[in-house]
Amino acid sequence: MKLHKESKGTIAVASILFAIIAAASIYFLEMWSLLIIVPLLVIYSLVFWFFRVPNRDILDHVENVIAPVDGKVVMIKEVEEDEFIKGKAIQVSIFMSPLNVHICRYPVSGDVIYKKYHPGKYLVAWHEKSSTENERTTIAVESLTKHKVVFRQIAGYVARRIVFYCNEGDKAKAGHEFGFIKFGSRMDIFLPLDTEIICKIGDKTKGGVDVIAKMRD
């Protein structure tokens, strides 16, 4: 199983803690140490599972908007996007549980025209105000169809580290990685009002693969 590059520090710390606790349990509890070691081993294995990098066949897309993350669609509604669009947009929100792949991918191809990191709170990721009050990074891409698409990485109560690799002026390619969020979070996508939304609330998404919307010419 291939692991994400962001896993190195976390797995190193988890390995040291596991070794120390396991050794102490065996020394002090002998056979009863299994009551601690077995659950600990499950948690340790989940750390590796969280940082997995699945093989995905990424296709070229022009009009399609691709799911930027694995997760579940929890919101589709018309909103005011005040940071970049400064007007009405359709917001599609995808919640990621700690068991989902947490690689963040570009939803459209084009040019990165805006990027800004915001420190903030750590409300639970499904809270409506998490989009504007939590720690977050907002990125905007001018798509190949000349539409402006905004998407936002949002840290949740558990996820407290947002990583992003893109900069203004970079070329975005739909389905390709631009960042990572650790341990449960949310991604909001803001689309033009005339966008055809294909997904619906409750849908499970596969980042870089599933089409969630189509841009109109």
d(CA 109, CA 145): 9
Helix (H, G, I), strand (E, B) or coil at 133: helix
Spatial strand order of the sheet with 64-66 comes to 64-66, 211-214, 196-197
Neighbours of 66 (CB within 10 A): 25
d(CA 52, CA 28): 34
- Residue 144 · residue 173 · CB < 8 Å: no
Which residue do the tokens 């962001």 mark?
Answer: 6
185 included as an active-site residue:
yes
- Residue 180 · residue 51 · CB < 8 Å: no
- Residue 191 · residue 211 · CB < 8 Å: no
The catalytically annotated residue of 7, 131, 143, 185 is 185
d(CA 192, CA 78): 10
Neighbours of 43 (CB within 10 A): 11
Q: Which amino acid is at 170?
A: D
Phi/psi of residue 151, nearest 5 degrees: -140, 150
Which residues is 191 bridged to in the sheet? 90
Catalytically annotated residues: 185
